[in-house]
Structure 1
Amino acid sequence: MSESKAVFDAMLVRFDANEADDMEAVFQFDLEDADDYYLSIEDGSCTMAEGEHDDATVTLSMDLATLKEVMSGELDGMAAFMQGRIRADGDIMLATKLTQIFPN
């Protein structure tokens, strides 16, 4: 299993359906040094797929180390964004909810 897939598998386990209530969204992750994945949230469930979604709600671009640090709580996502370590396209407010939907 790839290191990036392991990160997304861990995110699926931590998915909080209550936080994602009524949300319909696709989070696209463009990883500079690993495979791209996207997470689709719909009807209180989350699915993962490798590759690029053709109509993502928000696209987050970063390297794998940054993703791991944000999802582990070592790095605040907003701080990483302000430092230029994460670039976001699309619904940026949705991106700010990532660590609520996938808590540590």
Structure 2
Amino acid sequence: MTKTLFTGVLSLLIASCSQQDDRICEAVAKAPNTISECVHREGYLLADAEGSIRDVATAVVEKCRNHIIQQLLSKPENGPSLEVYATAIEDNAVEEAIRRVTEARSGNCKKPE
């Protein structure tokens, strides 16, 4: 009886692990125009890659490097120095990537088309 109950519970858990959790997963832009959209898309695409969440997040940010460069080129003249601005953009992108990779892994989100 106990073995049968354990097997049934285990089967339910395994089945639920392979399903997308729509409370976590969000729609992804097909053609990202911003750093955030790129990080979201690439975070979902790379979420199942081997490595720690931080390692995958770093790879995500590298895939979005062109969007980061575009934003750096549009830096406001009266804003902070380019170095401070670049560091802030990079730090924000990494934090967003960590969140998106975690979200994708937790919700077993489908890869974008």
Give TM-score, length-normalised by structure 1. Answer: 0.23
Would you tell me which structure has more strand in proportion to its own residues?
1
Would you tell me which structure has more helix in proportion to its own residues?
2
The structure whose RCO (Cα within 8 Å, separation 6+) is larger is 2
Give TM-score, length-normalised by structure 2. Answer: 0.22
Q: Which of 1 and 2 has greater Rg?
A: 2
